[in-house]
Amino acid sequence: MTTTNATRGFGSLNRRSFLKAGGASALAASLLPGLMTGTAKAAYSGTLDMLAWDFQPDTIKSLVGEWTAAGNPAVNVAVIPNLGYTPALQTRLRGGDKIDLFYNFAYNSQKFVNEGWAKTLNGLPGVDDMIADMFESARGRHVNAAGDIISAPYFSAVHMLHYNEKFLADAGLAVPTTLKEIYDASKSLQSTVASPYVAYWVKEFCEEYLHTYLLNEQITAFDDAGQPVFADDPKTVGVFEWWQAMYQEGLAPKSLLTDDPGKLSNEMAQGNAAFYVLHHYFLTSIRSLEGPQSANVKTAPAGPSTLQIGEVLQMGQSDSDDERLATWDLMKYYGWKDTDGKFKVFNQWAKAAGLAAPYAGFFTDPEVVASFPDYYDLALLSDTFATKSNVVPARTLPWYPDFQAKVGDIVHALLLGQATPAKTVEDLTAAAKGAQGGRTL
Amino acid sequence: MAGAADLLGPKADRAFGLKLVAPAMIILIVLLALPTLLTLVYSLHDVPASGSSFGPFVGLENFTIIFSSPVFWRSAQVTLTFSVGFVILSTVIGLAMAMLLNQRFIGRGLARALLIIPWATPWLVIGILWKWFADGSVGGLNAVLMMLGLTSDYHPFLSDPNTALPITVLAAVWRQASFAGILLLAGLQTLPEELNEAAQLDGANWWQRFSNITLPWLRPVLITVTVFNVIYAFLQFDVVFAMTQGGPGDTTQVLSILIYRQLFVNTNIGLGSALAVILGVVALIGGLTIVRLFYRREMH
Amino acid sequence: MASSAFERGRRRSLATSVAIYLGVLVFAIWILLPVWYLVVSSLITPSQLGVKPFPLVPSSVTLDNYAAVLFGNTGGKGIGSTDMGTRLVPTIGQSLLVSSILVVLNLCIAGAAAYGLSRYPFRGARVFELSVIATRIVPAIAIIGPFFVAFRVIGVLNTPWALVISYNVFTLPLAIMILKNYFDQLPREIEEAAKIDGATRLQTLWIIIVPIARPGLVAAGVLIFLEAWSEFFYALVLTNQLTVPPLLAGFQSVQQFNWNALAAATVMSMLPPTVLVLIFQRHVVGALTAGVGK
């Protein structure tokens, strides 16, 4: 763990605020002349190490291969499964492994910076342009409260309600937006399908739904300082009453606490469910299953706000400025645009699985538009990213994984009727405070 | 154990014995003693997530936090239930399978080959397979129960807090019972037939022969098998993780899941190490209790 | 022994026979039901899977899932890995390599130790035996950190050696306990005869013991092999999907899930150890037959 001059240089920039970044680039330029003017291609002759989780590794390799072929350094791409990615990555970084660029879960990103496993991107050439290019709603995931840029996007998605258009039309129902409307519509549809509403309510994912539902009712979960404030909103208890009722009254199937999302997609495709709330790209999986109802499934416009998620790319430790600049070039290519200004990598993920990039220009790029299957309403998605979604910036704070792990236990207790909605609010507040306080089980 | 010294051979023999054991001893010390020691040291510190230092020494504070947490006691209870069910079922089903496969019937060779299949399946794969097999709507288990008329509707076994733990136990037992069955079948086959025949002539019924001849004969191998079952029970992680991640709620949250969470999600290495120490000690006590029986038997 | 079983069978009452065949039926269902579910899942389409009740006897079968896994022929069917075929075969090879090297090493090391403990007990042998059991109870996930650092320093990360070395944590205690049990049951008369004939201890071990202990060594070898074959977590952290379990786990990604394709991949990954174990089945059961009890 040697501290190079460059790291100290970066350290001195740590407190600068992105919002005051007007003069910061100039400052960075004066501090790091080598970084700002040198061309990475010529400067770094070594090999870069990249770690990704197992999603179409052949595509990852061919994308990175094209980058190398354009005169850039060679990249060693290592792939490990998503299941167990965090422990493997942490053990490797803790053990002193040098990884230039790695996929990470957004909720780990600030912690990794704090532990010295990931570097901030402050002051790198073009980074401010990348942030400026993003939907404003997405910036809170990549820029922390102090203005440090902690990551670049790997992909992004918004939680959407997928619904069976035919079932609704047959029952004479309008597309629901509020939780109350979803409840009522589910009740009415029970004559068509026994349990109309499905969602990925397994332990690990309850936290995403917590935010999706709170945002749907315009409740602020965490304030700017990261303090839990959802308990202050009188509407919060109502959200949990709704959640409990959906499960207890059988509007959502009992098996939901352990169901796989792939199975739920199939339930929609087969017509065993009418509503499915999850990341927008699950429409691809529902449609491509080609079940009897697949073609009837549509994406509903989001309510006032929904949760925007996204996993990230982070920069690890580098031996030299040149290596860091080369890594940054790869990062820009992989998490933003190629040198021709095209969303080459994101376009590939859109084609492969309907994943999105948190950039406004992405949705209007003709190549991207062509890549998305026709059944996607790109205007709707773009609008949701731009004005109707929230990344909940607290989700990247270092104590957050601890809280996230507890949400599953607490929400499951609510759904199983072991805790009242009021108790759930209390427990969640205590869990957030406990996570911020340090060592607890 | 008092008589152990009398069993020792001449000095040269003892030296030869030590030489034979030395490589294994060295490997186990290097591979296990040092990391174990490190875990012990960690358990007494508030270790930073980066692991770059031990962090401040906190004495037994990690243990105090654990023992004063209801989460731990709930998990300990789940672990104990899981382990007791796992050990008993693996051993009993293993014994039953061994007894059966020791009988003569058409297709016995094939049946013995079947016994090995679960044993050749990785724990993680068993978790994934049983998660789907026990699924509430597309699972095979429900289909069969319905077909046999045992249930009237599909049951979401893994989402029901009353059935989630039994199903994870059953999935894990599916593999371990085969392991037990194979070792016990081997033990059964050495049982001299004369013993049984003599007993039969004396008019002993099946149960009397089983409890007075078969069980005592199997005792040493039964004890070895049980020691393994106890160890596998307490350390079980893959199956539960793949099936429920400890859910629904905390109903299948065994201690190894808590350790995983502390070490890799919350990155409280000190707390996670303390949990690992506790789990290790409990498993050791369980294992040694069985071994004590083993030595008592060897005394006569 | 087999003959005595036959004699007993001849005197068996009809009721006993019925009970035995009922038992066999229950046994076959216990083992085969999950396997059957897996195999059927791998042969049907997601649409068939979505139908209640699950088609235990599917009306039509397809090899599409296998094609999807092997040739990346996914047709947008929602599979996270599109080049599984090119990766699965070499990975099975690496798994075989790791497990085989480990078997040979362990049989030598554990065999020697077990024989020493059984025939030439030294002061502290009992304590060592107990500590062998004790070493097996250390939660593996708690001690992986030091392994990673050590392997990084000696440069074996992401090689079969990282697994060959670290798997001793699980397999060596297992092998020692089983082989010690086995040697304890072997008759000592032949060794004593050899001693009288003037053979050294090492000659006795190599020329006399190894051949007669071969069935026991085979049995322990299969056990070690399957322990190594099944290991997930160390392979996940210390290598990049070098062996089969982490590769299979890669099928469950955040973006896509598909049980049918996963089932096909699982069936294929279960074939090599199953075939191998079936080949050695006679030795396994036979070996332990000779070994246990006096």
Domain map (residue ranges) of chain A: 5-156+309-382, 157-307+390-437
Decide if A84 and C233 are in contact by the 8 Å CB cutoff: yes
- Please give the pLDDT value at position B218: 83
Q: Are B39 and C169 in contact (CB under 8 A)?
A: no
pLDDT at B184 over 90: no
* Tokens linked to C219: 């049995």
Q: Identify whether B294 is part of a domain.
A: yes
CA-to-CA dists, residue C194 to A101, B5, B158, C124, C190, angstroms: 64, 25, 60, 27, 6
Instruction: List the Cα angle C102/C103/C105 in 5-degree steps.
Output: 65
| Among candidate residues B199, B134, A238, the one with its CA nearest the CA of residue C33 | B134
Long-range contacts at B41-47 (CB < 8 A, ≥ 24 apart): B42/B269, B42/B270, B42/B273, B42/B274, B43/B270, B43/B273, B43/B274, B43/B276, B43/B277, B44/B270, B45/B270, B46/A439, B46/B270, B47/B268, B47/B269, B47/B270, B47/B273
**Which residues of chain B lie closer than 8 angstroms to A204, CB-CB?**
245
CATH topology identical between A5-156+309-382 and A157-307+390-437: yes
Can you tell me the mean pLDDT for B169-181? 94
Instruction: List the Cα angle A100/A105/A109 in 5-degree steps.
Output: 65
- Please give the pLDDT value at position B202: 86
- b/e code C119-157 from CB counts within 10 Å (16+ = b): bbbbeebeebbebbbbbbbbbbbbbbbbbbbbbbeeebb
- Please give the pLDDT value at position C10: 52
* Tokens linked to C282: 């006679």
Query: In CATH, what number does A5-156+309-382 get?
Result: 3.40.190.10
Beta-sheet pairing, A275-279 with A389-390: unpaired
Mutate to test the interface with B, among C12, C56, C136 (most CBs of B within 10 A): C136
ipTM of the complex: 0.87
CATH of the domain at B196: 1.10.3720.10
**Highest mean pLDDT range out of A126-130, B111-115, C70-74, C85-89?**
A126-130
Instruction: Give dist(CA C269, CA B63) in Å, integer.
Output: 42
- Please give the pLDDT value at position C214: 76
**Which residues of chain C lie closer than 8 angstroms to B103, CB-CB?**
5, 9, 20
Q: Taking CA atoms, what residue in C is nearest to B19? A: C116
pLDDT greater at residue C212 or residue A3: C212
The DSSP string of C117-154 is HHHS--TTHHHHHHHHHHHTTS-GGGGHHHHHHHHHHH
Instruction: Give dist(CA A56, CA C254) in Å, integer.
Output: 12
Q: Taking CA atoms, what residue in A is nearest to B164? A: A258
Bridge partners, residue A104, by sequence: A312
- Please give the pLDDT value at position C259: 82
The DSSP string of A366-423 is HHHHHHS-TT--HHHHHHHHHHSEE--GGGGSTTHHHHHHHHHHHHHHHHTTSS-HHH
Instruction: List the Cα angle B114/B116/B119 in 5-degree steps.
Output: 135
| Among candidate residues C102, C132, C88, the one with its CA nearest the CA of residue C225 | C102
What domains, with CATH codes, occur in chain C? 2-62 (no CATH), 86-255+269-291 (1.10.3720.10)
Instruction: For tokens 């059988």, name the residue.
Output: A250
Mutate to test the interface with B, among A108, A115, A257 (most CBs of B within 10 A): A257
**How many beta-carbon pairs below 8 A join chains A and C?**
132
Decide if C172 and B111 are in contact by the 8 Å CB cutoff: no
- Please give the pLDDT value at position C84: 67
Q: Taking CA atoms, what residue in C is nearest to B232? A: C137
Residues 6+ apart with CB under 8 A from C126: B1, B4
| Chain A residues with a Cβ under 8 Å from any Cβ in chain C | 53-59, 78-84, 87-88, 91-92, 94-97, 260-263, 265-267, 269-270, 272, 281, 284-285, 288-292, 311, 353, 355
Q: Identify whether B81 is part of a domain.
A: yes
| Among candidate residues A73, A75, A115, the one with its CA nearest the CA of residue A92 | A115
Domain count, chain B: 1
Mutate to test the interface with C, among A1, A49, A53, A56 (most CBs of C within 10 A): A56
* Tokens linked to A209: 């739904």
Dihedral sign (CA B237, C50, A53, C241): positive
- Please give the pLDDT value at position B298: 52
Q: Closest to C46 (Cβ–Cβ): which among A94, A289, A311?
A: A289
| Chain A residues with a Cβ under 8 Å from any Cβ in chain B | 1, 83, 86-87, 90-91, 94-95, 111, 115-117, 202-204, 253-260, 263, 266-267, 272, 401-402, 404-405, 408-409, 412-413, 415-416, 418, 435, 438-441
C148 CA to chain A: closest CA distance, Å? 6
Instruction: Give dist(CA A210, CA A405) in Å, integer.
Output: 13
Chain C from 132 to 171: CB within 8 A of any A CB: 141, 144-145, 148-149, 152, 157-158
Instruction: Give dist(CA C61, CA A289) in Å, integer.
Output: 17
- Please give the pLDDT value at position C165: 94
Is this structure's pTM higher than 0.95? no
Instruction: Give dist(CA A402, CA A391) in Å, integer.
Output: 18
**Highest mean pLDDT range out of A14-23, C129-138, C151-160?**
C151-160
Please state the separation of Cα B39 from the chain's center in Å: 22
* Tokens linked to B211: 């409890």
Please state the separation of Cα A89 from the chain's center in Å: 18
Amino acid at A107: Y
C159, burial (CB in 10 Å: exposed 0-12, middle 13-18, buried 19+):
middle
Length of chain B equals 300
pLDDT of chain A, 441 residues: tens digit per residue: 333 333 333 333 333 344 344 444 444 444 444 444 444 455 788 999 999 998 888 889 999 999 999 999 999 999 998 888 999 999 999 988 999 999 999 999 999 999 999 999 999 999 999 999 999 999 999 999 999 999 999 999 999 999 999 999 999 999 999 999 999 999 999 999 999 999 999 999 999 999 999 999 999 999 988 999 999 999 999 999 999 999 999 999 999 999 888 889 989 999 999 999 999 999 998 998 888 999 999 999 999 999 999 999 999 988 899 999 999 999 999 999 999 999 999 999 998 889 999 999 999 999 999 999 999 999 999 999 999 999 999 999 999 999 999 999 999 999 999 999 999 999 999 999 999 987 888
Q: Identify whether B211 is part of a domain.
A: yes
Bridge partners, residue A307, by sequence: A390
Fold that domain A157-307+390-437 belongs to in CATH? D-Maltodextrin-Binding Protein; domain 2 (3.40.190)
Instruction: For tokens 């607890």, name the residue.
Output: A440
The whole-chain average pLDDT of chain B stands at: 87
Q: Are B163 and B142 in contact (CB under 8 A)?
A: no
Please state the separation of Cα A122 from the chain's center in Å: 21
Q: Identify whether B36 is part of a domain.
A: no
B18 CA to chain A: closest CA distance, Å? 36
Amino acid at A355: L
Q: Which domain covers residue B124, as residue numbers?
A: 70-299
Decide if B46 and A439 are in contact by the 8 Å CB cutoff: yes
pLDDT at C11 over 60: yes
- Please give the pLDDT value at position A3: 35
